[in-house]
Amino acid sequence: MKNEICFNCGKKSMKVIKNKPYHFTECGLDNIELHGITQYECKKCGENYVSIPNMEGLHLTIGKTICCKTNALLAPQEIKFLRKELHLKSKELARRLGVSDTTVSRWENGKSPIQEGSDRFLRSLYMMFVSDQIEGPVRFDAVNLFNEIQMHRKPPKKLVKIELNPPDWMGKIFDFCHVN
């Protein structure tokens, strides 16, 4: 995109930026850092652009990473991310989980933590959704994953940074979680 026209100012002044981590907040999470993707910056107006290949695979990888964490309940941002990836409104998720609309709202805005059973069920719903979305066999190993999830977890005080490289999301996801 060097010497390409900036979408913002219309000038031919785009600079290619490589090897700089990209803080990917567009998915609604503030803890995702992407490595190895091309970014562009206009030398005239400062506008930034990024080129992220296979956005669907990236979102599936983020969802997989969220579901495979075993040491804490889902955080508010993670609950909202999974709900949106399931293409559900809050009301629809509440119905599927057997809770009130208000309960889902309180989870997503951090006013109350998700309960253990609902946390596991939401993860299961997402795993079933992924199995319907991906072509080819998917190995979930969900039984062992849920065996590894600690009891009496609390929501994380701060989300742990998730660092991803294009190979993490560019291929097919054959294994959902590796649990030893």
CA distance 44 to 167: 33
Domain ranges of the chain: 14-51, 55-157
Residue pLDDT, tens place only, 40-54: 999 999 899 998 988
User: How much of the chain exceeds pLDDT 70, in percent?
Assistant: 88
CA angle 110, 152, 164 (to 5 degrees): 60
Tokens describing residue 167 = 């190979």
Q: How confident is the model at residue 180 (pLDDT cuts 50, 70, 90)?
A: very low
Residue pLDDT, tens place only, 79-91: 999 999 999 999 9
User: How much of the chain exceeds pLDDT 90, in percent?
Assistant: 54
Q: How confident is the model at residue 18 (pLDDT cuts 50, 70, 90)?
A: confident
User: Is the per-residue pLDDT at 77 higher than 70?
Assistant: yes
User: Is the per-residue pLDDT at 68 higher than 80?
Assistant: yes
User: Is the per-residue pLDDT at 148 higher than 90?
Assistant: no
Q: How confident is the model at residue 13 (pLDDT cuts 50, 70, 90)?
A: confident
Q: How confident is the model at residue 140 (pLDDT cuts 50, 70, 90)?
A: low
CA distance 129 to 148: 21
| Predicted local distance difference test score (pLDDT) of residue 111 | 96
CA distance 135 to 172: 8
What is the CATH topology of the domain spanning 55-157?
434 Repressor (Amino-terminal Domain) (1.10.260)
How much is the pTM? 0.86
- Rounded average pLDDT over 129-136: 75
